[in-house]
Amino acid sequence: MSFSRAAFGLLVLGAGVFIAQIWFEILRPEIFAKTLVTLGIVLALVLIWGFVQRENRESAKLRDPERRE
């Protein structure tokens, strides 16, 4: 799975939890806050990791003349 798909999935999951909380109050407020903060942190980590991986691939292409397009 690509990192952008994982990040998008986490974003959709967070939005779904947020909408469900607004309409149905499925979680206590403190648990809801912890859940959203945790989802935000994981989303940030996935985006950062994807960025680092992409930069490593691009750097490897620049260092190796045979891998250039």
Residue 1: pLDDT over 70: no
The helix-helix angle for 3-24 and 29-63 (nearest 10°) equals 170
pLDDT of residue 3: 80
Give the number of domains in the chain: 1
Print the domain residue range for 8: 3-67
Asked if residue 68 has pLDDT above 70, the reply is no
- Give the closest residue to 6 by CA, choosing from 42, 32, 38: 42
Q: In the chain, what is the greatest distance between 2 CA atoms, to the nearest angstrom?
A: 57
Give 20-50 pLDDT, tens digit per residue: 999 999 999 999 999 999 999 999 999 999 9
